[in-house]
Structure 1
Amino acid sequence: MSRTHWASIAAVVLALLFAGTATVVAGEDDGPARAAAPSDSSADAGFARDMSIHHQQAVEMSFIVRDRTDDEEIRRLAFDIANTQANQRGMMQGWLDLWGLPKTAPDQEPMAWMAADGGHAGHGAGSGESADIPMPGMATPAQLARLGELSGKKAEIEYLQLMIVHHNGGVDMAQGCVRLCAVDTERTLAEGMVDAQRSEVELMVDLLRKRGAQVRT
Structure 2
Amino acid sequence: MARRPVFLAAAALLVAALTAVALAPWSRTGFPREGSPEVRFVREMTQHHAQAVDMATRIRDRSRDQTLRALALDIMLSQQEQIGQMRGWLTLWGQPWGGPGMTAEHARMMGMATPAELEQLSTLPVPEAERLFLQLMIRHHQGALAMVEPALAPGIRPEVQTLARQIQATQGGEINLMTRLLAARNAQPLPAPPAAGDTHEH
TM-score when normalising by structure 1: 0.72
Question: Does residue 177 in structure 1 map to residue 151 in structure 2?
Answer: yes
User: Any idea what the Cα deviations from partners look like across 1:122-176, whole Å, max 9, x if unmatched?
Assistant: 8xxxxxxx75745501100010011110232211101000000000000100122
- Please point out which of 157, 163, 180 is paired with 1:189: 163
Among 61, 64, 72, the alignment partner of 1:70 is: 64
Aligned to 1:201: 175
RMSD: 2.0
- Alpha-carbon contact 1:139-1:162 (below 8 Å) kept: yes
Counterparts of 1:1-217 in structure 2 under 5 Å?
A: 30=23, 33=26, 36-106=30-100, 110=102, 131=105, 133=107, 136-179=110-153, 182-217=156-191
Per-residue deviation, 1:43: 0.4
CA deviation profile, 1:24-81 (whole Å, cap 9, x unmatched): xxxxx63762661111110000000000000000000000001121111100000001
Amino acid at match of 2:112: M
- Report how far residue 181 of structure 1 moved: 6.0
When the two structures are aligned, how many residues end up with a matched partner? 169
Change (3 A) 1:79 1:181: farther
Cross-structure match for 1:127: none
Distance in structure 2 (CA, Å) of the matches to 1:183 and 1:203? 31
SS at match of 2:46: helix
> What is the one-letter code of the residue matched to 2:45?
M
Aligned to 1:26: none
The answer on whether the counterparts of 1:137 and 1:167 sit within 8 Å (CA) in structure 2 is: yes
Which ranges in structure 1 are unaligned for 5 or more consecutive residues?
Answer: 1-28, 111-121, 123-129
Task: Give the match's secondary structure for 2:86.
Answer: helix
In 2, distance between residues paired with 1:179 and 1:32?
Answer: 17
Structure 1 residue ranges, 4+ long, deviating more than 3 angstroms after superposition: 29-32, 130-135
Q: SS of the counterpart of 2:153?
A: helix
Q: Deviations over 1:84-141 (max 9, x none)?
A: 00001110000000000111224xx63xxxxxxxxxxx8xxxxxxx757455011000
For residues 49 and 167 of structure 1, what CA distance do their matches in structure 2 show?
A: 17
CA distance in 2, matches of 1:132, 1:185: 25
In 1, distance between residues paired with 2:133 and 2:155?
31
TM-score by length of 2: 0.77
Task: List gaps (5 residues or longer) in structure 2.
Answer: 1-21, 192-202
Q: Distance in 2 between matches of 1:152 and 1:181?
A: 46
